[in-house]
Amino acid sequence: MAGYGLDLQLEVYGKGEVPDHPFSYEGWEQRAREVLDAGAFGYIAGGAGTEWTMRANREAFYRWRLRPRMLRDVSERDLSVEVLGARSAGPFMLAPVGVLSIAHPEAELAVARAAAATGVPVILSTVSSFTLEEVARESGDAPRWFQLYPGRSPELNRSLVERAERAGYSAVVITLDTTMLGFRRRDLENAYLPFLKGEGVANYFSDPIFRARLKEAPERDPEAAVRAFLEVYVTPDLTWDDVNAVREATSLPVLVKGITHPEDAREAVRQGVEGLVVSNHGGRQVDGAVAALDALPKVVEAVGGSMPVLFDSGVRSGADALKAVALGATATLVGRPYAYALAAAGESGVRRVVRSLLAEVDLQLALSGYRSVRELGASSLLDARD
């Protein structure tokens, strides 16, 4: 009868003490605001332009209402999902979030430990603060994926995915929507770009192909090395050819992240990638762009069940994840929720966020009359606009 939800309730109520960690997204956001300087907080919290799309990502969830079913014996429940061989305790994965050293000194190492402890896979960013090998060591046997920003050097892209494969990452997620940074007012106002401070460059600086491009080693001339990174990073000329070159360089399944247009989804099917992520990068790239949840149903329709469709941008609670799954997502990714918890409380904060999400999904699912996330579908929701 027990489950993530009851276990968490018994633990907290049983102690009878006010817990030292929040249970809400807003609570963690507030703590992060208190501990971080304005530049770092603004970088994590901010979106593109007026931040309309960032807000729309949230508002899109309010349109959909869960329709609980009664008397359906939900005593045995299974929240887990499996995506391309990676098993997760619930319909969540930890989204690739770069430069986490601006949030906490243990950065991705703490996240990897929390992910392994809670059974939720992590997707490591290209622009992580520790090398992908260092992070892999903290993950043990837990499933992990690597996110690639393909740069201007095909050899470097190949080297990065080969390293990821050797280090036990089991899929590559190629992010398409950030070939350059969006217009981020908060960061411009704070004159804050973490890369210029040498954050987020560990995978490049440790890479033999990248190092061979430099006149001086990054340890001797870090500024020149950061400039070389920025040159390699900006890729407005990216096309499917670059994606396919990466696919040829690895035997791992490849997903593309940043799809919101059904035509792009159809093209992804034609090209034969193994999965896609519906995402607008948490509203950080194109202001005025469609809310990710509003884009999801048409992308799911275009894909027609031929590959997993993951979803992110705006997931803050168990209810949000259930809505996305009911609309056809195989699983969801969360970004800022765990980044804030990391900032405020390191590994234990990230664990709390993941455990809360699992507990919430468990109770929400049970009280809505479902034994598994796989039972959710169009009839689980009411469209408030109808």
Ligand X SMILES: CCCCC(=O)C(=O)O
- Asked if 202 and 128 count as a contact pair (C-beta separation under 8 A), the reply is yes
Nearest distance, CB of residue 242 and ligand FMN, angstroms: 15
Q: Which helix (H) or strand (E) holds 310?
A: strand 309-311
Q: x/- contact string, 6-45, with ligand X (CB under 6 A)?
A: ----------------------------------------
The closest of 256, 250, 251, 252 to 269, measured between CA atoms, is 256
Q: Is 149 annotated as a binding residue?
A: yes
When asked if residue 203 is in the footprint of ligand FMN (CB under 6 A), the reply is: no
Compute the least distance from the CB of residue 105 to ligand FMN, in Å.
16
Contact pick of 53, 88, 131, 147 for ligand FMN (by CB under 6 A): 147
Q: How far is CA 95 from CA 126, 182, 233, in A?
A: 12, 18, 20
Closer residue to ligand X in complex, CB, 127/353:
127
Q: Does 257 bind ligand X (CB under 6 A)?
A: no
Q: Does 42 bind ligand FMN (CB under 6 A)?
A: no
CA atoms within 13 A on the CB side of 55: 5
Residue 46: how many other CB atoms lie within 10 Å:
21
Q: Is 21 annotated as a binding residue?
A: no
Q: Please give the residues from 225 up to 264 whose contact with ligand FMN meets the rule CB under 6 A.
A: 257
User: Could you tell me the smallest distance in angstroms from the CB atom of residue 177 to ligand FMN?
Assistant: 8
Per the structure block, which two tokens stand in for 365? 């699912």
CB 292 within 8 A of CB 313: yes
State which residue has the least CB distance to ligand X: 98
313 is in an annotated binding site: yes
Q: Is 143 in the site for ligand X (CB under 6 A)?
A: no
Question: Is 281 known to be catalytic?
Answer: yes
- Strand-pairing partners, residue 148, are 174
Q: How many CB atoms lie within 10 A of CB 251?
A: 8
- The answer to whether 117 and 124 have CB atoms below 8 angstroms apart is no
Options 21, 104, 261, 281, the catalytic residue: 281
CA distance 114 to 52: 32
Q: Which residues bind ligand X (CB under 6 A)?
A: 98, 127, 178, 181, 281, 284
| Residues classed as catalytic | 281
What is the contact surface with ligand FMN in residues (CB under 6 A)?
43-44, 57, 95-98, 125, 127, 147, 175, 257, 279, 281-282, 312-315, 334-336, 339
